[in-house]
Structure 1
């Protein structure tokens, strides 16, 4: 195989990998858990094989230490876990997902990362709209996943693959079977497609078309949590562009304004909470989140230092997850807050090592986004639009982590770890942005 064909294989594999980690529920609903397991296993093997064949430049110095620390703590937690067998399974799944993320972080250039992620997002959004159109035209009602059977007269709406509400203006769930997840994917798409347009790495007409598709998908999901995440992303973009304009020696006012805006936002949320809920049509308990947070916090406080044991996605057949977060006949399998989930599973130790992934990656992403880049001869380069990508992706992930735990599993974990590796690599090598 020629080097060109090898790179083509790496890029194609990366698109499939991003598609699967972001839209894993599509495979599970289509092929069942066993079918998804086969696909996930093949992708993990493929990532290992490509890592060995590509032999990317790697050293301990080039690696984000927080990722290794988190995996070590998660693995050690099997020893004190309340559910050791489930913890062993959870650690194995997290390691497999991390392998996929490391492949992305070490084997893809910035240009390839941007292109592969963009192509995967286009597939997900395009198939989601076609899927919703098919359900609305053919099924004309809610559609259940394949390979499932539910007993009882009334099936909770959360169990359906799609509720078939496209012609009613949504909310739509798409192929990922969740309006919150589809909304977040649409938000990622808005970030990626916007950067590709600004960086002129796609044809303008093509880029605008997909930007509109992403915006339409975002609106049709009618997701309140993702809407708030979008506000955080816009704020991060605004402050980054302002910091670029001010230059490295005149950014004090930027940081002071950002701090004041954060304090003001917290105050506004506190004082205008009921108004905000009414605007988004949410119940006073944020669709059951308050009850879930209270239940999880109660258990976490019983084992505050090291937690109950790592599991990642909650296993519904294991105590206490078999009854911990049940609402209206639906058993939820996350704490709906990643930081609370980490505290519950790995205690304060886990929170420290998780923060050791997020905070340094955010730090590197910020300065990558705002600082002037230089070429090999030391000449200053104009600010690159693509340099904003890791900052905006992390802003979206962190904002989502306050209401969802998806940053700990599948696509969220892959993006977090991949950005941590890519920014670390960029910091040490000065690799050019596309």
Structure 2
């Protein structure tokens, strides 16, 4: 037996399951450790890692070109939003920085799409679970070391060293909100691993306790809302999955109506909710910022000010917004307001179409499939979309990568392009008496 050499050996490597797993673990690890990597080793190091992952991602997709058509690579809604963001560069005030922001958007999207094509849902959840266990354990270790053993903060990573006072803690993610959200996503992933018996029961219990403890210690008001909504979504999805197929359409429509009414009611009673969560001053800061953003949106309502992703603090309109507010915001503290400011109402509609389509596809898929692993995608999407109301996490870095990954995963089994490309097969005639089997 001869060993493959040259291009054939490279092709085999790019198509191997081992490389696909290593790539997925590395991509998740790099994306969610982005803040720590930049703070400890510099932005150039982080960019180099992401560029390297993009090269590998392109190689993985190219090696599978025989089984992937151009229509299958990425969801149309992702391409629509990314395309509009690219066009917006032409009217941005600083085109080089706008180009950099768009390249970051495209890079993380490419990595996410590659993961979606080389790993299935369970493999993706397992890889994310493995990464989250390490990152959360490291975060807890850092907090214990600086908050208890030497009792001093670590400004380089934003660690305040308050774990002895039961928080808030930040871990290696920079802010308590970021740690809290990562813990919620990890908790969803760990529970899916547990229910699918993908890991040992002891490890599953440890993982759930680790994520739950850090979510509580983060002391983030937004995480309470996210956890509550994800919990309600989980219970609702359980009911739908145990409902007879014939009754599901009516139930799904009823759920959609309840969600719309619930969102309206939550907006009407938002003041008491904010007071109950003890987030009055935090929300006041956000409200002032959002009102100022709307004033700037009014000048360019359709096309926006140009795509940047994370704010460029020395560029207009971000410089003016912070100057008028006397603040130093690095984002709109809301992904939807950020999209509206940067790419206008057209861009926001494209973003909402992208998110809404992904959520509907993932929800329907989870409703009909028997395996609990299919609940991972809609629950993570719900967490991302709710968190987008408090932070601009989902339009940059790991948040954007996870959002595109979930959208690509949801579109793989419920895409109109697959139905157009593959006509329905004609079922072979079964022997008499076998029609009742499945």
Whether TM-score is above 0.5 comes out as: yes
- State the superposition RMSD in angstroms: 2.4
Alignment partners' CA distance in 1, 2:251 and 2:82: 39
Alignment partners' CA distance in 1, 2:162 and 2:373: 36
Matches within 5 A, 1:225-240: 225-240=222-237
Q: 1:138 deviation in Å?
A: 4.5
User: What's the counterpart of residue 40 of structure 2?
Assistant: 30
Alignment partners' CA distance in 2, 1:15 and 1:399: 26
Q: Does 1:419 align with 2:406?
A: yes
User: What's the counterpart of residue 267 of structure 1?
Assistant: 265
| Cα distance change, pair 287–205 in 1 and its aligned pair in 2 (3 A) | farther
8 Å CA contact 2:88–2:303 kept in 1: the answer is: yes
Q: 1:274 deviation in Å?
A: 4.0
Q: 1:247 deviation in Å?
A: 2.3
Alignment partners' CA distance in 2, 1:43 and 1:138: 37
Q: 1:108 deviation in Å?
A: 1.4
Secondary structure at the aligned position of 2:319 is classed as: coil
Q: Which has the higher contact order (CA 8 A, sep 6+)?
A: 1
User: What's the counterpart of residue 283 of structure 1?
Assistant: 280
Flag the structure with larger Rg: 2
1:97 paired residue among 100, 104, 108: 108
Secondary structure at the aligned position of 2:383 is classed as: helix
Alignment partners' CA distance in 1, 2:179 and 2:170: 6
| Cα distance change, pair 395–317 in 1 and its aligned pair in 2 (3 A) | same
| Cα distance change, pair 144–218 in 1 and its aligned pair in 2 (3 A) | same
Secondary structure at the aligned position of 1:324 is classed as: helix
Give deviations 1:41-63, integer Å, cap 9, x for gaps.
22222322333335473224433
8 Å CA contact 1:97–1:413 kept in 2: the answer is: yes
Which consecutive unaligned segments of at least 5 residues does structure 1 have?
146-159, 374-382
| Cα distance change, pair 79–142 in 1 and its aligned pair in 2 (3 A) | same
Secondary structure at the aligned position of 1:249 is classed as: helix
Greater shift after overlay, 311-320 or 30-39? 30-39
Q: 1:3 deviation in Å?
A: 6.2
| Cα distance change, pair 387–95 in 1 and its aligned pair in 2 (3 A) | same
Matches within 5 A, 1:46-85: 46-55=56-65, 57-62=67-72, 63-85=74-96
Q: 1:254 deviation in Å?
A: 5.2
Give deviations 1:348-390, integer Å, cap 9, x for gaps.
110122122111111110111111x4xxxxxxxxx21101011
Give deviations 1:144-195, integer Å, cap 9, x for gaps.
21xxxxxxxxxxxxxx610001111011000111111111110001100001
8 Å CA contact 1:240–1:370 kept in 2: the answer is: yes
Q: 1:402 deviation in Å?
A: 1.2
Q: TM-score, normalised by structure 2?
A: 0.86
| Cα distance change, pair 425–247 in 1 and its aligned pair in 2 (3 A) | same
Which consecutive unaligned segments of at least 5 residues does structure 2 have?
1-8, 420-438
Alignment partners' CA distance in 1, 2:412 and 2:259: 32
Q: 1:6 deviation in Å?
A: 3.0
Q: TM-score, normalised by structure 1?
A: 0.87
2:209 paired residue among 212, 218, 236: 212
Matches within 5 A, 1:144-223: 144-145=155-156, 161-223=158-220
1:365 paired residue among 362, 366, 379: 362
8 Å CA contact 2:296–2:317 kept in 1: the answer is: no
Give deviations 1:187-240, integer Å, cap 9, x for gaps.
001100001111111111111110110100110001111221111111211211
Secondary structure at the aligned position of 2:247 is classed as: coil
1:113 paired residue among 92, 105, 124: 124
